[in-house]
Structure 1
């Protein structure tokens, strides 16, 4: 094809851009959604209509999502600082 376009580097840039640009905010949103209390039909609810219990599986999933996002941020800062 064209000798001035490096297609290998181009697809790597696109993949990393999609993961960091759309993947990390989506993962953060999944973590926030996991923290929200689940509404189960027939469950005990408070006056505001929210269920009163905390879902430990949701908290664990949210913690994993937030840890991955924080690790990606830390890796990005480390790679910027170490290359300067």
Structure 2
């Protein structure tokens, strides 16, 4: 144990930094990808009257996306809470 460096604190900082810095954006991208899953028997194509693209949804993909986005929001909320409470 070095008296100048607390290696357990450095390890905790690295783990939390990797989880928050890379884990939350990766989880967000998984949620975006889950929204784009094909299937579900929905309509596909272009709605000419509205000028928009209509995509069918996959229920499992939607549930996975909601869980991913909720986890990301919870992580952001926890980070804000820790900063404000300090």
Q: TM-score, normalised by structure 2?
A: 0.77
Equivalenced residue count is 77
Any gaps of 5 or more consecutive residues in structure 2? 47-54
1:2-41 residue pairs with structure 2 within 5 A? 2-38=2-38
CA RMSD of aligned residues (A): 2.3
| CA distance in structure 2 between the aligned counterparts of 1:71 and 1:18, rounded to whole angstroms | 17
CA deviations on 1:26-79 (whole Å, 9 max, x unpaired) are 00000000001327xxxx9647xxxx5310000000000000000011111111
| CA distance in structure 1 between the aligned counterparts of 2:57 and 2:9, rounded to whole angstroms | 46
Residue 77 of structure 1 is matched in structure 2 by 80
Any gaps of 5 or more consecutive residues in structure 1? none
Q: TM-score, normalised by structure 1?
A: 0.79
Following superposition, which runs of at least 4 residues in structure 1 exceed 6 angstroms of deviation? none
More strand by share: 2
